Amino acid sequence: MEKKKSGLFKKVSLYILIVLIVLVVGAGFVFRTEIKAINSIEKVDDYGFYTMEYAGDYGFDEFLEVGASNDQELIDFVTGRLLRGIPVSVSAPTLNCSTFNAVTPDGEYIFGRNFDMGYSPGLLIHTKPVNGYESISMVNLGFVGYSEGYLPDKVFDKVLTLAAPYVPMDGINEKGMAVGVLLLQDTPTMQDTEKVDINTSTAIRLLLDKAATVDEAVALLQKYDMRSTGGGNYHYQITDAQGNSVIVEYINNEMQVLKPETTYQASTNFYLTPGEKYNFGDGQDRYEIVMSGLKEKDGVLNAEEGMNLLEEVKLVDYPDEKTGIIYSTQWSAIYNNNRKTVDLAIGRNYENIYHFSLQE
């Protein structure tokens, strides 16, 4: 009798072991894209700068079918689709930034961008969506819960990075279309028609995944209702490999598209659209420095000169009485629209430039 019980126990134990193996293998298959993405994370700089490879479906086509009219709806979608129920908070991007476009002496087009905020760990995410363009983009990990005291250095601390595809701040895709977002401290845009809703950061993901040119980017934005994230408004500078540039602003819930008067364009944190909102905001001093630097060179800068111009307008412990944030430049980026590359200075360290390419 004892032998029969022992044999039965072994059979049950074996059965349970097989079931557990099947479950683990099955979970590994279901989450294979997410697991691979998490395992790809590498720390590049002790300031808090990481890289991540996300090759596969992160559900953006599904997102575009339903959209998100507010921050919570975006959180709910990301939590359900990518994090499988693991809670995440997506905070509003409160940022002061500078952007510009120029042409190099070799006839290549570049897009410069300073990302200014309180301390923000950064992530360069390389995405290869199933139904979209390959791209590299910069993510402020602070928007998904990371901080100086909580970084994705350990395995179980990396899970929240799976939300990264939905919160890019600037980037470039395989067609050479590059984009960056900048804050306007004004009433949020809340378009309300029959179109699907997108918000501040998912608009950037939309353009990186789906737009090859500036014209395509503008046409895409017009197909959706913009619902600004958090309590502010935002505008975008968009450039492409043909040298085109526009600044897209939303005024009284109406989309405005500004083309450059010359070959170059710049933007900081005030409205540029002529009319009632023109010059409302701040960053005029940075704007004048950038435009003067571009005018002096007739809009012709190489990558090093472009980075030097970004260094000229960097912020260091700049207090904002409206937000209470002490702004400093977290990263400076020079994107090459033709080569599909980016040069990055992290934490205002302009002596150490990191170079990344979509074509490598």
Q: How many CB atoms lie within 10 A of CB 250?
A: 25
Whole-model pTM over 0.85: yes
**Lookup result for tokens 């004004």:** 186
Q: What per-residue confidence (pLDDT) applies to 166? A: 94
Q: Is the dihedral of CA 226, 227, 233, 236 positive or negative?
A: negative
**pLDDT at site 4:** 45
Q: Which of 182, 187, 200, 191 is nearest to 222 (CA)?
A: 191
Per-residue model confidence as pLDDT tens for the chain (360 residues):
444 445 444 444 434 433 333 333 333 434 678 899 999 999 999 999 999 999 989 999 999 999 998 888 888 888 877 765 555 555 555 678 999 999 999 999 999 999 999 899 999 999 999 899 999 999 999 888 898 999 999 988 898 899 999 999 999 999 999 999 999 999 999 999 999 999 999 999 999 999 999 999 999 999 999 999 877 899 999 999 999 999 999 999 999 999 999 999 999 999 999 999 999 999 999 999 999 999 999 999 999 999 999 999 999 998 877 767 788 999 999 999 999 999 999 999 999 999 999 976
Domain of 71, CATH number, reads: 3.60.60.10
pLDDT for res 32:
74
- pLDDT on residue 293: 98
Query: Does residue 19 sit within a domain?
Result: no
The answer to whether residue 8 sits within a structural domain is: no
Predicted local distance difference test score (pLDDT) of residue 156: 84
CA 320 to chain CA centroid, Å, is 23
Interacting residues of 307 by C-beta distance below 8 A, sequence separation 6+:
112, 332, 334, 343, 345, 350, 353
Q: Is residue 22 part of a domain?
A: no
Q: Distance of alpha carbon 185 from its chain centroid, rounded? A: 20
Nearest CA to 333 out of 315, 301, 316, 309 is that of 309
Residue 12 lies in a domain: no
Does any domain span residue 220? yes
Residue 27 domain flag: no
Is 257 contained in some domain?
yes
Residue range of the domain that includes 284? 32-357
**Domain tally, the chain:** 1
**Does 14 map to a domain?**
no
